[in-house]
């Protein structure tokens, strides 16, 4: 009987040590998943906190907004331009109105002028990160929070941030109809 108890105790200790080790192994596994997916990276927040503002120069930012012709939305920046120092934390807002009588899903795609400016645009918060669902007649203000990297080319004095909204709901509905159709 004592031999059976010793064997059971050994198995319980091994299982406990295994679970303890597994718990420790989850931490680097979690960090690796976050690194791969970009979840909880904190890079954006640390950039906003630790950025050095280059007060020796100004950059003029211009804001533009467009919609795909299939999207029944009115979309505009609340301000057309702004002068900032590279490294300065900036927030601007865009406004969108769903002019239709139905709920519509849209996705904003950013573009930059000149194109090389994209490498220096560090967005912290943006409506372009996720699809936007607007009910019929809904009006919404959407912020964009960003920093221009102080390492930006000295020759860049004017940068344009432009968004184009595309109707993503129409594509999803068409795909659902194709899947629901009888296959012959």
Domain borders along the chain are 1-40, 47-173
pTM over 0.95: no
Q: What is the Cα–Cα distance from 126 to 143, expressed in whole angstroms?
A: 6
Q: What is the Cα–Cα distance from 132 to 106, expressed in whole angstroms?
A: 5
Give me the CATH topology for the region 47-173.
Ctag/Cox11 (Pfam 04442) (2.60.370)
> Is 126's pLDDT higher than 70?
yes
Q: Which residues, other chains included, contact 116 with Cβ-Cβ below 8 Å and sequence gap of 6+?
A: 153, 156
Q: 46: pLDDT confidence band, cut at 50, 70 and 90?
A: low
Q: What is the Cα–Cα distance from 157 to 153, expressed in whole angstroms?
A: 9
Q: What is the Cα–Cα distance from 59 to 44, expressed in whole angstroms?
A: 21
Q: 26: pLDDT confidence band, cut at 50, 70 and 90?
A: low
| 69-104 per-position pLDDT tens digit | 889 999 999 999 999 999 999 999 999 999 999 999
Alpha helices in the chain (DSSP H): 2-37, 43-50, 168-180
Residue 43: alpha-carbon gap to chain centroid: 12
Helix (H) or strand (E) holding 95: strand 89-98
Q: What is the Cα–Cα distance from 152 to 44, expressed in whole angstroms?
A: 17
């Amino acid at each position: 009987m004592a031999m059976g108890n010793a064997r059971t105790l050994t198995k319980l200790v091994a299982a406990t040590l295994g679970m303890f080790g597994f718990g420790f192994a989850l931490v680097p596994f979690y960090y690796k998943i976050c690194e791969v997916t970009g979840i909880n990276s904190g890079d954006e927040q640390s950039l906003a906190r630790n950025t050095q503002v280059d007060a020796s120069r100004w950059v003029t930012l211009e804001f533009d907004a467009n919609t795909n012709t299939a999207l029944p939305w009115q979309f505009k920046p609340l301000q057309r331009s702004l002068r900032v120092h590279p490294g300065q934390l900036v927030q601007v807002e865009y406004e969108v109105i769903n002019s239709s009588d139905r709920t519509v899903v849209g996705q904003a795609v950013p573009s930059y002028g000149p194109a090389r400016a994209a490498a220096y645009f560090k967005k912290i918060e943006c409506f372009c990160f996720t699809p936007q669902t607007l009910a019929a007649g809904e009006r919404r203000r959407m912020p964009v929070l960003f920093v221009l990297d102080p390492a930006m080319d000295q020759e860049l004095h004017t940068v344009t941030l432009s968004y184009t909204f595309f109707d993503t709901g129409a594509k999803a509905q068409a795909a659902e109809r194709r899947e629901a159709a009888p296959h012959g």
